[in-house]
């Protein structure tokens, strides 16, 4: 993201909308400036503010005149008065930032917008999490902290070492150069994104081990980590296997999303799994 210094009138409106705090008024040039290292290309500044097309010279002059009179001339808070934002076309690997940070951009690997994964929201038809399994979503960077891929790599390495299976239809997995070791592509490690999700599947017996592993790695990386857990309920709609483990680990469980079984399975292996379940 770029701000045209010839257009910016340093009203400061954009500094409040940047989730990364990457926009600041440079006291030397007296213009809003983007810290490109911290900018995750979410486009919240460009899309979130209405772009007006006032003449920058006139606006600056008015602001000066009003200042002399000890008054203020400020644009409405949701406006960039001079349409000073001029996004650069993004090339690889920087384009990865936008793919993970702008919720309106679909991921090439999955076609899903935002962080690019359906997680277990569509488990009824995808059958990602099968009977006897737990699907973990390990979410980095939210809210408003962001995450570097080099930090996510540390988590992926630890998970791979523990022998978990990474969800193939997940954008972070699609950026791995070696899925067996959880190694991400070298050229994206110094890219930062607003948030991202790693998805894994393990047998239910490994729930506690995985939570403890995530806790340990979280301490070594500079971001926030949230754990989501997806599992299958019994016929009465209750979970008596995974929930008690999580409660014992100190979590106050809140059920967030429930698939109620109205979807039709489209995944062959999951279909076989259901057939097995029915036989039992």
Q: Shortest distance, CB of residue 67 to ligand SF4, whole angstroms?
A: 16
State CA 71 to chain mean position distance: 42
Interface segment toward ligand SF4; rule CB under 6 A; list 39-47, 130-138, 169-177, 235-243: 39-47
With CB under 6 A as the contact rule, which of the stretches 40-48, 204-212, 224-232, 241-249 interacts with ligand SF4?
Answer: 40-48
Q: Does 242 bind ligand SF4 (CB under 6 A)?
A: no
Between the alpha carbon of residue 155 and those of residues 9, 130, 147, the distances in Å are 43, 24, 12
Token pair recorded at residue 278: 């029915």
**18 scored as a contact of ligand SF4 (CB under 6 A):** yes
Task: For residue 229, state whether it binds ligand SF4 (rule: CB under 6 A).
Answer: no
Q: Using alpha carbons only, how large is the chain's radius of gyration in Å? A: 23
Q: Which of 3, 120, 211, 225 binds ligand SF4 (CB under 6 A)?
A: 3
- 29 versus 275: smaller Cβ distance to ligand SF4: 29
- The pair phi, psi for residue 66, each rounded to 5°, is -65, -35
Q: Does residue 198 bind ligand SF4 (CB under 6 A)?
A: no
| 20 forms part of the interface with ligand SF4 (CB under 6 A) | yes
> Could you say which residues in the range 53-112 bind ligand SF4, by CB under 6 A?
80-82, 84
Kindly state the number of chain residues that form the binding site for ligand SF4, as judged by CB under 6 A.
28
Of 33-41, 133-141, 173-181, 206-214: span binding ligand SF4 (CB under 6 A): 33-41
Minimum Å gap between C-beta 36 and ligand SF4 is 8
The reply on whether position 195 binds ligand SF4 by CB under 6 A is no
Rule CB under 6 A: is residue 9 a binding residue for ligand SF4?
yes
Compare residues 10 and 120 and give the one whose CB is closer to ligand SF4.
10
Contact between 45 and ligand SF4 (CB under 6 A)? yes
Mind spelling out the 3-state secondary structure of the chain?
A: CCECCCCCCCCCHHHHCCCCCCEEEECCCCEEEECCCCCCCCCHHHHHCEECCCCHHHHHHHHHHHHHCCCCCCCCCCEECCCCECCCCCCCCCHHHHHHHCCCCECCCCCCECCCCCCCCCHHHHCCCCCCEEEEEEEECCCCCCEEHHHHHHHHHHHHHCCCEECCCCHHHHCEEECCCCEECHHHCCCEECCEEEEEEEEHHHHHHHHHHHHHHHCCCCCCEEEEEEECCCCCCCCCCHHHHHHHCCCCCCCCCCCCCCCCCCCHHHHHHHHHHHHC
The answer to the question of residue 12 lying near ligand SF4 (CB under 6 A) is yes
Q: What are the residues whose beta carbons fall under 8 Å from the beta carbon of 60, sequence distance 6 or more?
A: 9
**Least distance between ligand SF4 and beta carbon 88 (Å):** 11
Q: Is 116 in the site for ligand SF4 (CB under 6 A)?
A: no
Stretch that binds ligand SF4, among 32-40, 125-133, 217-225, 246-254 (CB under 6 A): 32-40
Question: Which residues would be at the binding site for ligand SF4 (CB under 6 A)?
Answer: 1, 3, 8-14, 17-18, 20, 22-23, 32, 34, 39-45, 49, 80-82, 84
């Amino acid at each position: 993201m770029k701000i045209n210094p010839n257009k910016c009138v340093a009203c400061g409106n954009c500094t409040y909308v940047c989730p990364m705090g990457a926009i600041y008024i440079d006291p030397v040039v007296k213009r809003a400036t983007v810290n490109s290292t911290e900018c995750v290309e979410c486009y919240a500044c460009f899309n979130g503010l209405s772009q007006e097309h006032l003449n920058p010279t006139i606006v600056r002059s008015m602001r000066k005149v009003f200042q002399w009179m000890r008054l203020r001339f400020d644009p409405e808070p949701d406006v960039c008065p001079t349409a000073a934002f001029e996004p650069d076309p993004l090339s690889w690997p920087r384009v990865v930032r936008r793919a993970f940070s702008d919720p309106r951009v679909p991921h090439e690997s999955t076609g899903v917008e935002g962080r690019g994964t359906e997680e277990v929201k569509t488990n009824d038809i995808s059958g990602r999490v099968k009977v006897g399994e737990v699907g973990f979503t390990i979410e980095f960077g939210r809210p408003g902290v962001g995450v570097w891929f080099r930090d996510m790599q540390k988590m992926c390495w630890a998970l791979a070492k523990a022998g978990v299976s990474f969800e193939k239809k997940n954008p972070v997995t699609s950026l791995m150069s070696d899925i067996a070791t959880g190694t991400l592509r070298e050229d994206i490690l110094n890219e930062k994104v607003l948030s991202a999700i790693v998805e894994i599947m393990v047998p239910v017996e490994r729930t506690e081990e995985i939570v403890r592993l995530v806790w340990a790695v979280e301490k070594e990386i500079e971001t926030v980590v949230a754990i989501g857990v997806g599992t299958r309920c019994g016929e009465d709609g209750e979970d008596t296997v995974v929930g008690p483990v999580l409660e014992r680990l100190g979590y106050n469980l809140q059920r967030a999303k429930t698939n109620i079984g109205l979807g039709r399975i489209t995944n062959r292996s999951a279909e076989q799994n259901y057939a097995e379940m029915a036989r039992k």
